[in-house]
Structure 1
């Protein structure tokens, strides 16, 4: 019976010994691998040091010479032209991906090969999105029930409701307003439909201003006539007249109101002078998130990694060749 128990392959003592033996072999393999790795780097310390220095130098050079820059142009689309603006940017983005430098040159961009990408995003302003009547508040509350409010605001269906938008242009070199931004804005404003719309809108505003200015001139005429007729009266007589003519105060208030409206109309006329009007720009900001900014750290590791790979490959090839020759 004892012999049968010794020959039993399911003996747990034998299984535990096998497991511990394999664990010991694994740790022995780890120790051997660690020792060989350390010995390899000690043996090739000069080569590894040179590769590290070369990698750092190459990364620094590429970071300085081939740096990417970010251009931000804040624009306001007028006449409900937000969809038009986004479609134009998408079209330009496709031309950049296709590297269609001929088209980009045709719209006035001097160095189209230096443009990496173009995108557009809204300037998120919830206060302006929720207007005074609160018409958009209920809509946002309803949409936020099915997701995060911040992400919903940035969705394409929502972001076009914002007044301001930022065009983000990434380039491999510095740009100037004359050679890049102005041609871009000119291209975005090139629309026969919106040109006619802009002309009609400008005429309407101008006519409105003229009408209000004519009304103010009539009011001034009335006030001048009053001053001329009753200017020679005594102070007591003027006071009595002012008290009896209560409508004079309303006339003066009407003039002030018209003056304020004219000021607002002139601002509106300026803000709507173009279909896509530029509100500000920040040019030639270095993109610190770009991969090229990290090349100074990546290239040394890449060079050393390639050296290690080829060294082990050559060593493996020599050993296998020796085995093949012995056979």
Structure 2
């Protein structure tokens, strides 16, 4: 009986729409992202119309409105990525490479996140999602940090291009030397950045790293336009939420518990009457 009632109540569902926005937090803004989502959700629960008017949302419908954020699980670094990091580590004592190692390690530890917007009215719900995303990215501190980061990336590209020219010149001179003196490649060593001795094979790898870092910085310049980059702004989709959740166990257990409680109280009453009688 309890199971049947539980199943019946579980069929009472609340239909809502959902929009998923896949984002990538820039400049260590992950904690900020979670904090601002909690802030918006708190204002939804308190029905703070003043807050929502301040971000451009008039006559907001709070019915079924909700916002959540979760990290999207990603597979670990590929084998090629790991080899790349190992190669970077072999140059970690050189000033030109240390920043590249740090940036790569930070990149490997970053994740995409999914912001989910729940609502009942499609038109106002989509507008709500758009306004909240705009609000998330309207942060003066991170805007200033983005300007600094872009300038740093441009400076890094210029520095790497200068180093690349030097490396090409060293390789050219070494090749000319090798042709004239017939030296053995494996025994030839040069000093890199006046700190680290590396052989010519490592120098070629160093050149490839500089090229790869220049390419990465150019991509970074294209990506870092907002504190939280929008990877995909999804379309509205229907989602259903059971009135009593997904489990069928709660209602039967509740009814059974109430039955045993009632029976126990009834037993105590009879026991008391027999003793007093």
Q: CA deviation at 1:260?
A: 1.1
| Cα distance in 2 for residues equivalent to 1:205 and 1:96 | 39
Q: Could you say which residue in structure 2 is the equivalent of 1:174? A: 122
Mapped contact 2:15–2:240 kept (Cα < 8 A):
no
Instruction: Using structure 2 for the length normalisation, give the TM-score.
Output: 0.53
Q: Could you say which residue in structure 1 is the equivalent of 2:236? A: 284
Is 1:123 aligned to residue 75 of structure 2? Answer: no
Mapped contact 1:219–1:251 kept (Cα < 8 A):
yes
Secondary structure at the aligned position of 1:112 is classed as coil
Which stretches in structure 1 are left out of the alignment for 5+ residues? Answer: 1-62, 133-160, 231-237, 292-327
Bigger radius of gyration, 1 or 2? Answer: 1
With 216-225 and 85-94 compared, the bigger mean Cα shift is at 216-225
Question: Quick one: structure 1 residues 224 and 83, their matched pair in 2 at CA, closer, same or farther if it must change by over 3 Å?
Answer: closer
Let me know the Cα RMSD of the aligned residues: 3.9
Q: Could you say which residue in structure 1 is the equivalent of 2:132? A: 184
Q: CA deviation at 1:250?
A: 6.0
Is 1:106 aligned to residue 54 of structure 2? Answer: yes
| Cα distance in 1 for residues equivalent to 2:17 and 2:218 | 37
Secondary structure at the aligned position of 1:287 is classed as strand
Instruction: Using structure 1 for the length normalisation, give the TM-score.
Output: 0.46
Secondary structure at the aligned position of 2:151 is classed as helix
Q: CA deviation at 1:285?
A: 0.8
Q: Could you say which residue in structure 1 is the equivalent of 2:197? A: none
Question: Quick one: structure 1 residues 172 and 278, their matched pair in 2 at CA, closer, same or farther if it must change by over 3 Å?
Answer: same
Bigger relative CO (Cα 8 Å, ≥ 6 apart)? 2
Which stretches in structure 2 are left out of the alignment for 5+ residues? Answer: 1-12, 83-108, 189-199, 244-277
**Which string of whole-angstrom CA distances, capped at 9 and with x for unpartnered residues, describes residues 177-198 of structure 1?**
9834443222112222222222
Which structure shows the higher strand fraction?
2
| Cα distance in 2 for residues equivalent to 1:123 and 1:219 | 40
| Cα distance in 2 for residues equivalent to 1:252 and 1:83 | 40
| Cα distance in 1 for residues equivalent to 2:209 and 2:29 | 31
Is 1:163 aligned to residue 116 of structure 2? Answer: no
| Cα distance in 1 for residues equivalent to 2:203 and 2:151 | 28
Q: Could you say which residue in structure 1 is the equivalent of 2:149? A: 201
